[in-house]
């Protein structure tokens, strides 16, 4: 008896198509890469907007003049961008240089003041004495403006300014003892007994 092959089921399970594995490189192709597309040589028809760091704005007039110059030099976009990067870096350096110099000067004054023989170890006392003298002027607006000027100019950090102002503040805030200079020639005798001068002597104390 001839047998018949089994009939395939009416529905087959779902199958997943998998991508065939990438063929390994042959001996002649090992270590080789396809050539990269070469960047266009020479200046483009129009330069793209040059990139600058956040917070920096490239003046449109400067950008236009630079684009014209770069085009006459036949610079491609990448080389033109390198020159823009150089310009931005030097501009930022020139802008921050005065601020750095001022900061370094102020730090030098502070360190010199802290180490000065007349101020070393007693800056708190100095500040309190100076503050008392400024407040003692009796003009709150003037005191506030003067303090603001010291901070703005940095004078309040200079050791010479601190020393001079401290001496002046001491003169107006610290009392001095009253020195005796002997009996007054007007109304007191050498022996210390008070006498009432005559009318003539009161008018002409230098008369013999």
User: Does 157 score more than 80 pLDDT?
Assistant: yes
R_g of the chain computed on alpha carbons: 46
For residues 51 and 57, the answer to whether their CB atoms sit within 8 Å is no
Question: Nearest-5° angle of CA 48, CA 54, CA 55?
Answer: 115
For residues 186 and 205, the answer to whether their CB atoms sit within 8 Å is yes
Domain ranges of the chain: 40-98, 115-173
Residues 6+ apart with CB under 8 A from 189: 183, 195
- Predicted local distance difference test score (pLDDT) of residue 173: 80
Tell me: the pLDDT tens digits for 99-115?
Answer: 999 999 999 999 999 99
Tell me: the pLDDT tens digits for 12-21?
Answer: 444 445 556 7
Range with the poorest average pLDDT among 77-81, 119-123, 195-199? 195-199
User: Does 39 score more than 80 pLDDT?
Assistant: no
Average pLDDT, the chain: 81
Average pLDDT estimate for 168-174? 86
Residue among 136, 126, 145, 201 at smallest CA distance from 172: 136
């Amino acid at each position: 008896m001839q047998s018949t092959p089994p009939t395939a089921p009416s529905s087959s399970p779902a199958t997943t198509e998998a991508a065939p594995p990438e063929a390994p490189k042959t001996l002649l192709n090992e270590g080789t890469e396809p050539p990269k597309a070469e960047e266009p040589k020479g200046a483009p028809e129009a330069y793209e907007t040059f990139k600058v760091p956040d917070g920096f704005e490239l003046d449109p007039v400067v950008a236009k003049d630079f684009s014209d110059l770069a085009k006459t030099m036949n610079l491609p976009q990448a080389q033109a961008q390198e020159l823009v990067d150089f310009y931005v870096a030097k501009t930022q350096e020139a802008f921050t240089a005065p601020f750095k110099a001022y900061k370094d000067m102020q730090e030098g004054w502070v360190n010199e003041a802290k180490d000065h023989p007349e101020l070393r170890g007693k800056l708190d006392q100095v500040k309190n004495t100076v503050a008392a003298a400024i407040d003692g002027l009796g003009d709150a607006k003037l005191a506030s403006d003067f303090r603001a000027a010291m901070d703005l100019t940095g004078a309040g950090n200079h050791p010479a300014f601190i020393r001079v102002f401290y001496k002046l503040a001491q003169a107006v805030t610290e009392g001095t003892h009253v020195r005796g200079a002997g009996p007054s020639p007007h109304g007191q005798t050498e022996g210390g007994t008070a006498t009432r001068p005559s009318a003539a002597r009161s008018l002409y104390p230098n008369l013999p």
